[in-house]
Structure 1
């Protein structure tokens, strides 16, 4: 009997959250969301940009193989251009008809023209010598290596 009286007394003393407490919790959650959502958005954009740069590196790797095999034309010339029709055989991703890789023997430089590079959003983070403006679709191998390490 005593236990029943105590249980009823305990139940009467218990109260739920007040409206003020509930509003305080909602405000705190809103502040956390306001901070977290832009940070998550930046992480997603940076990962998309890194994926584009990684694809450009894949295009370059495929072009090097194709140039070494002579699939891109006469390798005795000063400049060898490996065009999209050859690159699609050595690169699994999607390519634009204007995508190409040019190798200049005198400078020993590769220049990648990859249309997806124009879609990079965070141009301030991925800025290096020779690759710095929004919409730029050309990058040298040296600049690509630098920007991939950022």
Structure 2
């Protein structure tokens, strides 16, 4: 019996064509499922990085305002330009038109990179208009909500 089993095993040379085709079909199905999912993960990661940079800029503006580096427009409104923020924001490149405005305790950021967020986050930021162009302005509360964080309450002004 053992000799017969050994003979059968020695005659087994490799995979048949059908077995090989079955493996290729299974791999193709897995690839069809995985490739779009990976693309979405990459797109969401890039958008979250932009939102994180916007959060960093807002945090830097709070420090700049506390240091008196920003322009006080009125008793309730302060503007921090890209030039004023550059020393307070590390690792983020600011465009010349980028700025943060604090008005009545709420922060609104104008950040050119916000135009690059994918549609999922653009809707959460309320910056997608009907003509499919994206705005580069958002509030701190909208950014926090888009990132899945609880929005901060606006600061009380004295």
- Tell whether the structures are fold-level matches, with TM greater than 0.5: yes
Q: Work out which of the two has the higher radius of gyration on C-alpha atoms and give 1 or 2.
A: 1
Corresponding residue for 2:97?
98
Consecutive unaligned residues in structure 1, runs of 5 or more: none
TM-score by length of 1: 0.84
Contact 1:81-1:101 at 8 Å conserved across structures: yes
**In 1, Cα distance between the equivalents of 2:53 and 2:115?**
13
CA distance in 1, matches of 2:135, 2:113: 9
- Counterpart of 1:86 in structure 2 is 84
TM-score in terms of structure 2 length: 0.80
Alignment partner of 1:114 out of 95, 111, 114: 111
Match of 1:140 in 2: 139
CA–CA separation in structure 2 for the residues paired with 1:117 and 1:125: 10
Tell me the distance in 2 between the aligned counterparts of 1:26 and 1:117: 42
Gaps of 5+ in 2: 150-158
Distance 1:34 1:116 in 2: 31
Q: Which residue of 1 aligns with 2:39?
A: 41
Count how many residue pairs are aligned between Structure 1 and Structure 2. 144
Aligned-residue offset at 1:142 = 1.2
- Over 3 Å counting, the alpha-carbon distance change for 1:12 and 1:75 in structure 2 is same
Quote the Cα distance in structure 1 between the aligned partners of 2:12 and 2:125: 67
CA distance in 1, matches of 2:112, 2:49: 14
**C-alpha RMSD over aligned residues:** 2.3
1:15 to partner: Cα distance: 3.0
Distance in 1, matches of 2:32 and 2:134, equals 30
Shift of 1:75: 6.8
For 1:125 and 1:80, locate their aligned partners in 2 and report how far apart those are by CA, in whole Å: 27
Please list the CA deviations of residues 57-90 of structure 1 after superposition, one character each: whole Å capped at 9, or x if unmatched: 0000001111121100237543211000011111
**Residues 128, 134 of structure 2: 8 Å contact kept:** no
Rounded to whole Å, the distance in 2 between the matches of 1:60 and 1:129 is 15
